[in-house]
């Protein structure tokens, strides 16, 4: 199957650099709404069989324009949520942000036993997110499916599952409504065929000034912290 993992549109928490991972989560900013509205045009050539979203408000809002344009429902699938911030939830200070980002980087480098304080380790994350993807794949073999999820979750699952070089992986970012395109299936494995780090509607929909913790590369997060 062909799997398109799309990050949600911009939220106020993305602008503020907050680790917003719990339910229900923030809605979209004006820019986030524009990013979501641009997704249908950007995917016009894709024959999409189904549209899924995590239970968070921001993914459902981002998926809705594509669902309206295709005449499909947005199917909410538990398991597609962001990497949990645990006790760091809604913090934006240097200690919290670096703990979260460094843990994610360690997962990408193979240390799946490291846990975010009060959250999950890498193995539990992969089991949760991968289980959701496996259930979607079982329902749509040989079809293209759009899945709206979250920045850190998309990067971690796509890079680890797709076999990307760890040092390449930690330096990749995904802006709001950026996307990962994968092909394969749970039995045979997944191949990352395209990484689209900028908004699907075009780079003009990016916000370079936002302190976007879960979407930035490790270097970008550290640069933001130095400037703040």
**Among 46, 81, 82, 198, which one carries the catalytic annotation?**
82
3-state secondary structure of 53: strand
User: Containing H/E element for 178?
Assistant: none
Integer-rounded Cα Rg, in Å, for the chain is 16
Is 8 considered catalytic here?
Answer: yes
Is 95 considered catalytic here?
Answer: no
**Among 8, 150, 196, 211, which one carries the catalytic annotation?**
8
Residues shown for the chain: 228
Q: How far is CA 90 from CA 18, 94, 141, 198, in A?
A: 5, 12, 38, 25
Token duo for residue 83: 């990497």
- Tell me which residue of 99, 73, 69, 68 sits closest to 85, measured CA to CA: 99
Distance CA 228, CA 123 (A): 33
Q: Within 10 Å of residue 186's Cβ, how many Cβ atoms?
A: 16
Q: How far is CA 30 from CA 13, 34, 39, 120, 137, in A?
A: 13, 6, 15, 32, 33
Catalytic residues, by residue number, are: 8, 82
């Amino acid at each position: 199957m062909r799997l398109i993992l799309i990050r949600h549109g911009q939220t106020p928490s993305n602008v503020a650099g907050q680790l917003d991972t719990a339910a229900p989560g923030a809605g979209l900013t004006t820019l986030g709404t524009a990013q979501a509205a641009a997704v249908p045009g950007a995917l016009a050539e894709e024959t999409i069989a189904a549209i899924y979203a995590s239970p968070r408000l921001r993914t459902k809002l981002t998926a809705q324009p594509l669902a309206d344009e295709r005449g499909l429902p947005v199917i909410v699938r538990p398991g597609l949520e962001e990497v949990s911030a645990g006790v760091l939830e809604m913090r934006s200070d240097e200690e919290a942000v670096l703990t979260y980002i460094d843990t994610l980087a360690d997962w990408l480098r193979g240390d799946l036993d490291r846990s975010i304080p009060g959250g999950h380790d890498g193995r539990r994350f992969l089991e949760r997110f991968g289980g959701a993807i496996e259930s979607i794949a079982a329902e749509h073999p040989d079809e293209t499916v759009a899945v709206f999820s979250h920045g850190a979750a998309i990067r971690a699952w796509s890079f680890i599952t797709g076999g990307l070089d760890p040092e390449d992986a930690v330096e990749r970012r995904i802006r709001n409504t950026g996307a990962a395109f994968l092909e394969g299936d749970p039995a045979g494995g997944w191949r990352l065929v395209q990484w689209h780090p900028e908004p699907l509607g075009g780079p003009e929909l990016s916000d370079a000034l936002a302190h976007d913790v879960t979407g930035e590369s490790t270097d970008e997060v550290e640069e933001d912290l130095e400037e703040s």
